[in-house]
Amino acid sequence: MNALIIFGLLFGLMLTGMPISISLGLTVLTFLFGFTNTDVQTVALKLFTGIEKFEIMAIPFFILAGNFLT
């Protein structure tokens, strides 16, 4: 039942014309805060510790380099 709610919300948000990245983010946050007992602090801590990884920083730098070259 949870999967049906998640996919329904995701496709509903995308059908309204919302970008895919924002639709995915809102779907995940809605599921986390609506159907689980996680705290806001836990979600924020996981987000910030995930950003600190060196390998993930290559993605925005490649996009930045592409913008500089064009």
Burial 46-68 (b: 16+ CB within 10 A, else e): eeeeeeeeeeeeeeeeeeeeeee
Residue with tokens 């995308």: 14
Average pLDDT over residues 25-32: 89
* Terminal alpha carbon distance of the chain: 47
Give the pLDDT band (50/70/90) at residue 12: very high
pTM reported for the whole predicted model: 0.61
Cα separation, 37 vs 57, in Å, equals: 30
Q: Where are the domains of the chain?
A: 2-69
Residue range 54-68, pLDDT digits in tens: 777 788 889 999 999
